[in-house]
Amino acid sequence: MVRKKSTRSKVRTRKEAYKRKQQARSYASRSWRILLLT
């Protein structure tokens, strides 16, 4: 049970990190687009 819980938390943290990375990438692409347009 303890092991299951730890793995679950690990997966959750990984998912959060992935989401954060995606957001950062989208923000970077947006900034690049603005720079190119201006």
Q: Which two tokens stand for residue 37?
A: 């347009």
- Domain range for 30 is 1-38
pLDDT the model gives residue 36? 84
Q: How does pLDDT run across 1-38, given as a tens digit for each residue?
A: 567 778 888 888 999 999 999 999 998 888 888 888 87
State the total domains in the chain.
1
Helices (H), ranges, 1-38: 2-37
- Measured distance CA(2)–CA(28) in Å, rounded: 39
pLDDT the model gives residue 2? 64
pLDDT the model gives residue 1? 57
